[in-house]
């Protein structure tokens, strides 16, 4: 960077205090922060206390590490059907995390009838239907096939559905948008297994079934399975967690979570979809034009600011780093813009590497908060050119019967006292909202 390029840390690039993202590269960066400046280093050293952990041996080794007790509050938030505790969700606390990988123990959960405790020695995968040779793979056999690893988001189609509510939900960011998590998945490309079985030319769909007591059944176009789907056996370097489908799950890059069948037991090749509960009674939606949407597999681009976000409190004025996540089921995120004035002006956010297709992308932008009220927003654009819509635009397009696939721009209001809450900024037509707000049936 040349001297002429060096941004003035106090120069706004967009309204209400947004600073140039090049500030992150600048040598003058520290002047914008609130570091404690020490006087003489000798004095400073002498004044530092000797803490108890500096003088006695630390804890012994452990077989499996757990977070610090001081980070023990970073947990999933469980919301299950009281009459049927196995049917519900557990949200990823996106507001407490950074980077792009969701720790396995905090990956969101969505089960329809609990987590089966599968004995891998008694589990196998059947590939049958329109194939030349029906095959049953034991786990041992599967583990000999070549594997690939991909960092991918899984997002429930019902994620963020509180956005359809007529009043803004006041929950922390992750308990609103955290039915999305990003892991490194390692597994066998499905095309290898289908090649073993020999796909008959008439096969167009595969019906995937899980071994859970819900008997999850989903129809998937064979073209997608042959293109880029994995039979995952590992998550973030270790065997899948039971909650994520141990010992086998389908990973369907960029598509809604319900397609990514956990505890996978059968792939049945057919010439047509089976029209199961989760593709007809659910996941089929009436539009404002009176037509129904179904088999809406791809999760469109979405982004949200995770810090600051609803429920947080800015206690001191000065420099802040706005940080958040963007992702798209269509590929890479190409741009994230941030606004501090409710969408009037926008600044480009810095996209942290790696920027991977269908994975979380971490974005950051520097911001000066001098106690003014602000409305923080982010909007993502993906490599297909698709740009995340405003809430009003989404409602105009999809009507008020929506429940799934809510991906509108999220607005966090920072009040003059520093408290952050969720607000709606645009005049969306609230009339015609359903009798109950969608959050009331968050486990559908
Ligand atoms: N067998 C089975 N697979 C399933 C489900 C289920 O209940 N049973 N839930 C689906 C739904 S709706 C979602 S959103 C994802 C959630 O994956 P996760 O719990 O690993 O986050 O799994 C999908 N696969
Ligand atoms: Mo889902």
pLDDT in tens, 214-227: 888 999 999 999 99
Q: Which atom of ligand 1 is nearest to the CA of 157?
A: 14
**Does pLDDT of 10 surpass 70?**
no
Return the ligand number nearest the Cα of 112.
Answer: 1
What is the model's pLDDT at position 277? 62
Distance 313 CA to ligand 2 centre (A): 31
Percent helix / strand / coil, the chain, rounded to 5: 20, 30, 50
The whole model's pTM is what? 0.91
* Ligand 1, atom 11, residue with closest C-alpha: 258
In whole angstroms, give the CA distance from residue 156 to residue 161. 10
User: CA nearest 363: which of 374, 345, 376?
Assistant: 376
Query: Each residue of 228-250: pLDDT tens digit?
Result: 999 999 999 999 999 999 999 99
- Enumerate the CATH 2.60.40.650 domain ranges in the chain, comma separated: 302-423
Q: Does ligand 1 lie within 6 Å of residue 261's CB atom?
A: yes
pLDDT digits 0-9 by tens, 256-279: 999 999 999 999 999 998 766 666
- pLDDT class of 42 with cuts at 50, 70, 90: confident
Atom of ligand 1 nearest to the CA of 264: 1
Residue nearest to ligand 1 atom 20, measured at CA: 244
CA-nearest residue, atom 6 of ligand 1: 111
Q: What is the CA radius of gyration of the chain?
A: 24
- Indicate the range of 116-120, 235-239, 295-299, 366-370 predicted with least confidence: 295-299
| Interval 389-417 mean pLDDT | 92
Q: Is 260 in the pocket of ligand 1 (CB under 6 A)?
A: yes
Is the CB of 107 inside a 6 Å radius of any atom of ligand 1? yes
What class does CATH assign to 104-290?
alpha beta
Question: How far lies 236's CA from each of 47, 106, 258, in Å?
Answer: 43, 12, 21
Going by pLDDT thresholds of 50, 70 and 90, the confidence category of residue 35 is low
Q: pLDDT tens, 278-316? A: 666 666 666 666 666 666 799 999 999 999 999 999 999
Q: Given 3.40.50.2300, 3.40.1160.10, 3.90.226.10, 2.60.40.650, which CATH number is that of 302-423? A: 2.60.40.650
Q: How many A from CA of 5 to the centre of ligand 1?
A: 48
Domain with CATH 3.90.420.10 in the chain: 104-290
């Amino acid at each position: 960077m040349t001297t002429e390029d060096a941004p003035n840390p106090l120069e706004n690039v967009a309204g209400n205090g947004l600073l140039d993202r090049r500030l992150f590269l600048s040598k003058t960066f520290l002047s914008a922060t609130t570091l404690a400046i020490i006087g003489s280093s000798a004095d400073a050293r002498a004044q530092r206390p000797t803490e108890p952990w500096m003088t006695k041996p630390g804890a012994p080794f452990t077989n499996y590490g757990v977070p610090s007790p001081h980070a023990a509050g970073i947990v999933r938030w469980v919301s299950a059907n009281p009459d049927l505790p196995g049917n519900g969700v557990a949200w990823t606390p996106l507001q407490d995390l950074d980077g792009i990988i969701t720790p396995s123990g905090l990956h969101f959960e969505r089960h329809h009838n609990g987590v089966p405790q599968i004995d891998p020695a008694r589990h196998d995968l059947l590939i049958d239907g329109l194939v030349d040779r029906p095959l049953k793979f034991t786990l041992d056999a599967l583990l000999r096939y070549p594997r690939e690893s991909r960092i991918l988001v899984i997002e429930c189609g019902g994620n963020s559905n509180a956005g359809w509510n007529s009043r803004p939900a006041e929950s922390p960011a992750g308990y609103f948008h955290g039915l999305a998590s990003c892991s490194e998945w390692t597994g066998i490309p499905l095309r290898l297994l289908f090649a073993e079985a020999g796909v008959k030319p008439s096969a167009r769909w595969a019906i995937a079934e899980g071994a859970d007591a819900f008997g999850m059944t989903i129809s998937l176009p064979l073209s997608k399975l042959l293109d880029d789907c994995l039979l995952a056996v590992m998550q973030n370097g270790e065997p899948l967690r039971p909650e994520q489908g141990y010992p086998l799950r389908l990973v369907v890059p960029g598509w809604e979570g319900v397609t990514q069948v956990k505890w996978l037991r059968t792939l049945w090749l057919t010439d047509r979809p089976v029209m199961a509960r989760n593709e007809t009674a659910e996941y089929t939606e009436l539009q404002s034009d009176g037509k129904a949407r179904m088999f809406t597999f791809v999760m469109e681009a979405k982004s949200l600011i995770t810090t600051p976000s609803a429920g947080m409190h800015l206690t001191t004025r000065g420099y802040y780093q706005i940080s958040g996540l963007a992702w798209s089921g269509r590929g890479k995120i190409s741009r994230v813009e941030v606004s501090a004035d409710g969408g009037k002006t926008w600044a480009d956010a810095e996209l942290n590497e790696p920027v991977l297709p269908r994975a979380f992308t971490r974005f950051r932008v520097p911001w000066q908060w001098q106690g003014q009220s602000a409305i923080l927003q982010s909007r993502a654009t993906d490599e297909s050119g698709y740009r995340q819509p405003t809430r009003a635009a989404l409602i105009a397009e999809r009507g008020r019967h929506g429940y799934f696939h809510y991906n509108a721009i999220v607005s966090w209001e920072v009040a003059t006292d520093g408290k952050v809450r969720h607000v709606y900024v645009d005049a969306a037509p609230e009339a015609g909202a359903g009798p109950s707000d969608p959050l009331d049936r968050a486990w559908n």
